Structure 1
Amino acid sequence: MTTPTPIEYRDQLRDHYERCWSTEGRERFWQTGPVDQLPEGFCVLEFPTTRLRDMWTYATCGMSPLSDQPPIELHLFAQQPSMSHVELLTVVTHYHLTGKPLNLGHTFNIGRPWLPGSACEFGLISLPYLDGPKLELFEPPQSSLTVRCLWLIPITAAESKFAMEVGLEELEQAFEDQSLNYLNPMRRSVV
């Protein structure tokens, strides 16, 4: 078993996403800020809506060093295409590499609204409930790696505080009870 090169890994991960979402991703790059500190070959893939998926999907490609245990990748769903989603995932990747490493269940301050006018200024890293283990667990060919592909959900400050004080399961239950519209940047807090 070998560890893939960053470029091999990026190509394998892209194939994984495209199989799971049944559409081709387009490479997007955010060019502002310390992007030279990002991993070699890092990009954000943009997946358009399809007949079966009425939402845009943005996914990191090469977010974690492959030496991380386990490496993670994040994806985000949106109503409309926007370079703001590319910026968000690029900034989160930079924070993951240079600040506190992120993982399942973490909440963090995005530093600005998800989109202009949105109350969602925090992020939650969740299981990929819409796609399940087929997406979540990616094992690059001829490698001993298992990469976790997790869902980045923009949340409000109140929801982040609730998750830290009461618990992630309770927050996710509130999302389910109130039929959270995770695509709507203008949604109200569920707590």
Structure 2
Amino acid sequence: MNAYQQALLAHYAHQWGIQPTALATQRPSAHPVPATFQVLEFAPTPARTMWTYATCGMSLPNMPQQLELHLFSSQQSPELVDLLTAVAHYHQTAHALGVDHTVNFGVPWLPDSACSCGLVSLPYLDGPSLEQMPYQAQQVQCLWLIPITPTERDFKVAHGVEALEELFEQTGIDYVNPTRPSVV
């Protein structure tokens, strides 16, 4: 783990109050990323009753904006390591991601889920203390990857992210429920 990743791990651990387990994809040839890339798995705690999976080394050093993503799950899921690795590969090789971008996972985020896309969002559940991590002369953005349905993605494209977020608030969306219905 390089110095950047050590700083990021410390940032996450301070924010979420627990040390993670560092994991790597079991399918490295499917979506190649640098060997140092990891996904950090944070177990639930009494204060935070969900699993958290966070990228560690998603942005390459030469990228103008440093970005890392995390997502939440009601269950421990090794598949989320592969999913975040695929998203990191896309970010590094195809299209740099940022706030309000969407990404097509190509598969459900968890078994039996209709959510096969993701919305890159500000980390509303954690706030600015997680979102901004100073590192050397840069600000690393730590953003939330919210699993969404293709219909929700299409609604966001047609009506804007604020309209989709309003629907999330109105319906009281359960972000960690893989079988939640679409809000659209």
| TM-score normalised over the length of structure 1 | 0.93
2:4 is matched with which residue: 9, 18, 36?
9
Displacement of 1:35 in angstroms is 6.7
After superposition, residues 111-150 of structure 1 pair within 5 angstroms as: 111-140=106-135, 143-150=136-143
Return the letter of the residue paired with 2:127: G
Partner Cα separation in structure 2 for residue 112 and residue 35 of structure 1:
14
| TM-score normalised over the length of structure 2 | 0.96
Structure 1 stretches of 5 or more lacking a match? 1-5
Displacement of 1:175 in angstroms is 0.3
Partner Cα separation in structure 1 for residue 50 and residue 10 of structure 2:
19
Partner Cα separation in structure 2 for residue 21 and residue 150 of structure 1:
14
Partner Cα separation in structure 1 for residue 128 and residue 164 of structure 2:
21
Paired residue secondary structure (2:44): coil
Displacement of 1:108 in angstroms is 1.7
Partner Cα separation in structure 2 for residue 106 and residue 73 of structure 1:
13
1:184 is matched with which residue: 167, 170, 177?
177
Cross-structure match for 1:68: 63
Cross-structure match for 1:153: 146
Paired residue secondary structure (1:139): strand
Displacement of 1:68 in angstroms is 1.8
Describe the superposition over 1:128-177 as per-residue Cα deviations: whole angstroms up to 9, x where unpaired. Answer: 0000010000012xx10110000001100110000000000110110011
Q: Which moved more, 1:96-105 or 1:176-185?
A: 96-105
Cross-structure match for 2:163: 170
Partner Cα separation in structure 1 for residue 31 and residue 91 of structure 2:
15
Partner Cα separation in structure 1 for residue 120 and residue 21 of structure 2:
23
After superposition, residues 31-50 of structure 1 pair within 5 angstroms as: 31-34=26-29, 37-50=32-45
Answer whether contact 2:67 2:140 (CA < 8 A) is retained.
yes
Cross-structure match for 1:97: 92
1:80 to 1:36, Cα distance in 2 relative to 1, 3 A: closer
Return the letter of the residue paired with 1:118: S
RMSD value over aligned CA atoms?
Answer: 1.3
Return the letter of the residue paired with 2:169: E
Aligned length: 184
Displacement of 1:111 in angstroms is 0.3
| Runs of 4+ that moved beyond 3 A | none
Percent of aligned positions that are identical: 48
Partner Cα separation in structure 1 for residue 115 and residue 10 of structure 2:
31
